[in-house]
Each structure stands twice: as C-alpha cells, then as structure tokens.
Structure 1
Amino acid sequence: MTSVSVLIVDDQILLRQGLRKLLEIEEGIEIVGDAADGVEALEFLAAHPSPDVALVDARMPRMDGIELIARMRVEHPKVPAIVLTTFDDDELVFGGLRAGARGYLLKDVPPDELVSAIRRAARGETVLGGPAADRLVAALNTTVAPPPVSETATPLSDREWEVARMVGEGATNREIARALFITEGTAKNHVTSILRKLDLRDRTRLALWVGRQET
C-alpha cells in the first residue's frame, strides 16, 4: 500500500496530538508535521517536501483555514486540502470549496471514514461529509425554485445589493469585507439584514434568489 503523507493544521494542540496518534497507527498513513494556524502551515510547506494531503481546521487565529486553502491553491497547488471542522454552516462549506478545498468533513467523522477520505483526496477525489454534501446539492439543484419572497419585503439598498450579489457568487463574509472595504462584522450584519428583509432562511436560499433575479 502506497504511503500517504499528511500535514495537520489546527489551533487546538490536544486535537492535533489526538489526530496524530489516531492516524499514525493506520497502515499507509504518515504524519509529516502539524501547525497551529495558517501562517505556521505555510512556513512548514515552504521548508519541507509537500505532503500528499493537508487536514485543515476552518477557524483558527492569525490565518484561518479558508484563507490558508486559498493561498495553498496558488503557492502549493499539488497539496489537496480537506477541511476538518466542528462547523457546518453555509459560509464555511461554500467558502472552503470555493477556496479550493478537496473535501469538507466534520470532526465527529468516524476514524475509518477519515482515513478513507485522506486516501481518496490523495488520489485526486473530492470527499464531502453528509451535511456538506447536502448543502452543495441544494445549492446546485437549479431545478428547484427558491422560496418566494414576501410581496411586502423591504427593497434592498445599493450596498445590500452588492453584498447579496457577492453571496450569490459564493463569497464568505471575510471576502465580502475585503472587497467592499468594510469590517467582517459589518458584512455579516448586511447579510443578516438582507435575509430578514427578503424573509429568507439562509445564504443558500439567498444565492438561489439572487440567481433568479439576474436571469
């Protein structure tokens, strides 16, 4: 069996150590390093031979997993990344995949499924856990019309339209903030306001609604 080398990137030291111990006992899996955030991960990748797969947490200090994966796509395109996180909200799922992640798994994934996902990602396959797969299918299912917007919905401001269009393109709050030169908190508040005005439940439904308005 061909050995698969893995880099673990997570800000929680107990989780990094636990993953290392869990994976090191698996035949054909070699842990070549670990990092506490995206900055450390890029430093490791610049100084060592490229691993076959990187396991990346979504939320970390200094540089989070989404930004790290976007950087890796440019600077280390041969290293597939799997997002391994406790969060399954739309922003992280679509943000991670849009940044270039090869997979998206939750941290409660069974060990055998995690090992299988690592090996599949190393072969160039895409691996999605159940919640991430469900969200992706819902977003891509263009044959299903988005829920109707209330006739009494408050019209969006010009800035809210900008934000809504970026959500429709799959942008995260952080990407919206950078593009519009606003804070991430302000971007989040705009999205919340838009969802409330249009009586929509989540970003996926907003993205589908935007697509319908622009066709």
Structure 2
Amino acid sequence: MKTRLVLVEDQMLVREGIKSLLGLDDSVEVIGEYENGEQFIESGSATNCDVILMDIRMPKLSGIETLHALAQRNIATPVLMLTTFDDHELVNNAMKAGAKGYLLKDVSLDTLIDTIAQIKEGKTLIQPAVTEKVLQGLKGLSVEFESFESPEPLTEKETDILRLIAAGYSNKEIADAKFKSTGTIKNQVSSIMAKLGVRDRTRAVLKALEQGIL
C-alpha cells in the first residue's frame, strides 16, 4: 500500500521538485500540497495522510509552529522536517515540538523514500550527516529512547562502520567502500545496534556520541 503523503513547502519550485521526485517512486503518493502551515492546518488534511513532509522555515505559520498546532489538536500523524539549514537549534526545537525526523533538502531520493517509510512505521530519524555541530547539539535533546546505560564495547571494525553511518552512508555504500556484501554490512549494523541497545541507526549515532565513541 502506498504511503499517503502531504507536502507543506512555501517555495513553489522546491515543492514541485520534491513532488516530481517522489512521483518517481511507486511507494509514495502525494495527496496534498500547501504553501504554509496555516493553509495546511485549515485544510484539515492532517488526519487523512500517513506522513507529513514539511519545511521548517515558512511564512504565516512555520514548521515548528505547525507542529505545536497539530499537538494542540491531538493529531499524531508523523512529521518529517525538510530544510536547507543545518541549524542545531532548529533541530532541537523541531524534535521537542514532536517532529519524527529531520533531513536536509539535498538528501538523495533513496534516503528520502527510506526515511518516509521508517517514519510511517513509527521510528524517529535524524539524518546523521546534518553535520557534527547538529549531532553534538542533539546530545542534550530530550528525545527519549531505549538504550543500554553501559553498552557492550564495539570492535574497531564496528566503530569504523558507525563512523560511516554518522557520515550518512547507506548500507550499500558502506558495503562498496569496504568491499563487503550488503548482507554482511547489514548484519554488522544490526550487531552495533544490539550492543548499544538501540533500535535504529540514528539512535546508534546519538548513543555513540553520548558515550564518547565518536
């Protein structure tokens, strides 16, 4: 079943570009598009979609203000924030306001599609490659997730792979760089997450930063 997505972006060219890109993938259907948060909230379409893809900086009602408006209406549709900025303060505010993910607009289509799918499943994801400054800023973010207080030590190879994950590389890209099969890398990533006691790649990076591994 296709993911029903609503796109909220004030720049028409960017909005049309994202819509055209998403149209290249059969797993996502854009069922609505809006110029700003105010227009989106008034439309009442927030409860008719699976994922909301929204810019952080918009006129009339910003992405973060829109998140607050959704919360006030008890609307729990997951929101993925998109922006050209890698401002850690914006990331902090967006996640505290209830956003489930954060990506820069120059992200690849494959990563965008994959993130949309994971957000739909209830995961919280932040693109690790949004810069070291953003990741460091996220260390103090009050986004609760399960992890081991004292994780099992990672091997040198696992730490190396975790650095590549933090740089934004996919399993396939890491496999190509390491001359390994994608399956082998997938197993190693699963081992890393198991040792850290986390459920996804973003939490693995954040936990590694918290522990001083990265």
Judged with a 3 Å threshold, the aligned counterparts in structure 2 of structure 1 residues 131 and 28 are, in CA distance, closer, same or farther, namely closer
Q: Deviations over 1:156-203 (max 9, x none)?
A: xxxxxxxxxxxxxxxxxxxxxxxxxxxxxxxxxxxxxxxxxxxxxxxx
TM-score, normalising length from structure 2? 0.60
Q: Residue 12 of structure 2 corresponds to which residue in structure 1?
A: 13
The offset of 1:48, in angstroms, is 7.0
Return the alpha-carbon distance in structure 1 between the equivalents of residues 139 and 6 of structure 2: 31
**Match for residue 99 of structure 2 among 101, 108, 113:** 101
Q: Greater Rg, structure 1 or structure 2?
A: 1
- Pair 1:127-2:125 in alignment: yes
Secondary structure of the corresponding residue to residue 59 of structure 2: coil
Paired residue for 2:50?
A: 52
Aligned equivalents of 2:46, 2:64: Cα separation in 1? 22
What SS does the corresponding residue of 2:53 show, helix, strand or coil?
strand
In structure 2, the partner of 1:34 is 33
Where do 5+ consecutive residues of structure 2 fail to align? Answer: 142-214
Q: 1:118 to 1:42 in 2, by over 3 A?
A: same
Note the residue ranges of structure 1 that are not aligned, 5 or more in a row.
Answer: 143-215
Number of the residue aligned with 1:197? none
Contact residue 93 and residue 132 of structure 1 kept, 8 A: no
Distance 1:85 1:36 in 2: 14
Kept after mapping to 2: 8 A contact 1:6/1:53:
yes
- 1:110 is matched with which residue? 108
Per-residue displacement from partner, 1:28-78 (whole Å, max 9, x unpaired)? 21100000001011022x157521111110111111101101211232533
Q: Residue 73 of structure 1: which of 66, 71, 74 is its match? A: 71
SS of residue in 1 equivalent to 2:18: helix
Give the number of equivalent residue pairs.
Answer: 140
Q: Answer whether contact 2:46 2:52 (CA < 8 A) is retained.
A: no
Partner Cα distance (1:79, 1:129) in 2: 20
Identity of aligned residues (%): 34
Helix, strand or coil: the match of 1:105? strand
Match of 2:86 among 81, 84, 88: 88
